[in-house]
Chain A
Amino acid sequence: MNSLVSRFARSVASTGSLATRPSASFALCSSRGYASKTAEHDVLVIGGGPGGYVAAIKAAQLGLNTACVEMRGRLGGTCLNVGCIPSKSLLNNSMRYHDVLHDSKKRGVIVGNVELDLAQMMKAKDESVDQLTGGIEMLFKKNKVTYYKGKGSFIDEHQVQIDAIEGGEDTIVNAKNIIIATGSEPTPFPGIEVDEKRIVSSTGAIALPEVPKRLAIIGGGIIGLEMASVWSRLGSEVTILEFLPAIGGAGMDSEVSKTIQKLLQKQGLKFKTGTKVLGAKVDGEEVHIDLENAKSGKQETIVADTLLVAVGRRPYTEGLGLEKIGIELDERKRVVMDNEYRTKFPHIRVIGDCTFGPMLAHKAEEEGIAAAEYIKLGHGHVNYGVIPSVMYTHPEVAWVGQSEQQVKESGKAYNVGKFPYLANSRAKTNLDTDGFVKFITDKETDRILGCHIIGANAGEAIAEAALALEYGASAEDVARTCHAHPTLSEAVKEAALSAYDKPINF
């Protein structure tokens, strides 16, 4: 016994010493506190968001002397600071409030006086954000990534000027390889000025000081619908204004889009699809929004206490000095790259929201890994056919691979397998049966082409479908995999079974 414990102590000690021993390749690497006027690195990553910080850690793990510059003063980018993470905190906690208020009685739980403490809800959100952003700084230290707090801009194709913030020292970094990962920012709506008080962007929408009585949202995409869910649960009357005839944005299967719209309408959200926003102006404590029906041309004005503009995001490369060194942007201001993330300069690569593809944190992370591997190893991997998307409403919506419309357009013969959560035992016991799982498979080979889920925890369930797609699995492969009972994941198995045979429980 004693010998085992002492052996364990030895193993911890030896692991610890391996983890903390400075390697020769990091000899030049100085911490932020010791940053001199000039520094040299194998890799400099500009931007510390999900793409940038992951690229920096991977490059360091591959033995490259790596640095990352971030101008926000906190790592994690939009996702951790003002995007995915704070919105998920609000979505989760607003859901609990709503459940206690409206859903507990039928479950046999009688609750007395229920009150909303919005300030505490915001505090809980901020604490989650602080812990996660602080965690990345720890990961940088653990992996020996030099962290520059400041704004980076190109001096020439190998030199980046870092204008320090928070009392740091301005530094000129010479880097053999540079990865641009500067992310994106909310797209402004022409003619509508965001003041982050009455008219807010997604950044303002996660930090409203009080629950607006009437909230209007321009844009029925994922950001708009998630914020609509939060504030509707907390008591706002929410109206969503969408120019297109359907909600959910590009990529969402149209059957899924129609179903989730009905479910959200049942929750009290109002939709004005096929509606063009002509303008909006603040009048005292109200916002007047002028609308036009895209089909009939009929005009109307609606009034809200707060207006959220959520019409999408655009690449952010301002102040980077790309024009100085001649790096091309396309017509949508995305940095042009080749198939190995290289710009015109082979040693300057670009990943994430500021270049082609969907603006998703996990897509940027994959590209960050691939870019670091290309630098060190000459090869990397991202399967753009298997990038999952999730909308964290309730029920959640998640999909991966092709939609039914895309498969139809390709002319390929296909099967559809669907299974409703209404027939799933765990969903029944949870009293949460909205939604379904839908597989689209190749009719000839049974290979899975896409999977679309509406339901509680769809964002977790889609990982199984993503793994199946990545491995090139058939619906039968999934259906013949034993799933624990009773779980929501059985709906995935049954939907797969439905794609090539018949479901058992429906």
Chain B
Amino acid sequence: MRQALILWHKPLIHFIGRRSWQKATQDLAPKLHPLDPHKELPSSFAAYRLKAQQHGPLVKSSGLPNAGEVIARFQLPKRFQYPVVEDLEIDIVNSGGAL
């Protein structure tokens, strides 16, 4: 419907569909930050990771939530989501109930 309203200019912006949580192939090797003005990271970064056993990033993660975990409310079953507010209801709220 919206497409029909646009005459002929095709914007450079493209919609690529709803975001999905890709299985991240986590590379634990430290890399330079894009704003780091130095040529390389101190050697301690790589050296520490070789010997360390830590919480968090050193534990290989798929990037996906664990079973039973959710990231956002919309991923919960519908009964846990916020009720949809209808226009009439918004009008009532905005008018202080004086409809």
Contacts and interface: CB of A to CB of B under 8 A. Distances in A.
A373 to B, nearest CB: 10
A477 B32 contact: no
A377 interface: yes
Contact of A338 (B9, B30, B63): B30
Interface stretch (A8-16, A106-114, A135-143): A8-16
A58 to B, nearest CB: 12
Contacts of A344: 42, 44-45, 48
Contacts of A447: 12
Contacts of A337: 33, 36
The size class of the interface chain B forms with chain A is: 35 or more
Question: Most chain-B CB neighbours within 10 Å: which of A62, A344, A474?
Answer: A344
B54 A338 contact: no
Interface in B3-42: 9, 11-13, 21, 24, 26, 28, 30-38, 41-42
Nearest to A471: B13
B74 interface: no
The size class of the interface chain A forms with chain B is: 35 or more
A377 B71 contact: yes
A356 B35 contact: yes
A346 B24 contact: no
Contacts of A374: 57
B36 A356 contact: yes
Question: How would you classify the secondary structure of chain B's contact residues: helix, strand, loop or mixed?
Answer: loop
A177 B9 contact: no
A176 B57 contact: no
Contacts of A5: 92, 97
A406 B99 CA distance: 58
B57 A347 contact: yes
Contacts of B35: 356-357, 384
Contacts of A326: 44
Interface string A268-309: 000000000000000000000000000000000000000000
Contact of A378 (B24, B30, B38, B93): B24
Contacts of A14: 83
B40 to A, nearest CB: 11
A8 B13 contact: no
A346 B58 contact: yes
A426 B85 CA distance: 37
Contacts of A471: 12-13
A443 interface: no
Nearest to B11: A477
Contacts of B32: 338-339
A296 B60 CA distance: 62
A476 B88 CA distance: 39
B42 A336 contact: yes
B24 to A, nearest CB: 5
* Pairs A-B, 6 closest by C-beta atoms: A338-B30, A356-B35, A378-B63, A176-B55, A357-B35, A346-B57
Interface of A: 1, 4-5, 7-8, 11, 14-15, 18, 62-63, 176-177, 326, 328, 330, 336-342, 344-347, 355-357, 374-379, 384, 447, 471-474, 476-477, 480
17 contacts: A4-B88, A4-B92, A7-B89, A340-B57, A344-B44, A346-B56, A347-B58, A357-B35, A377-B24, A377-B63, A378-B62, A384-B34, A471-B12, A471-B13, A472-B13, A473-B12, A474-B12
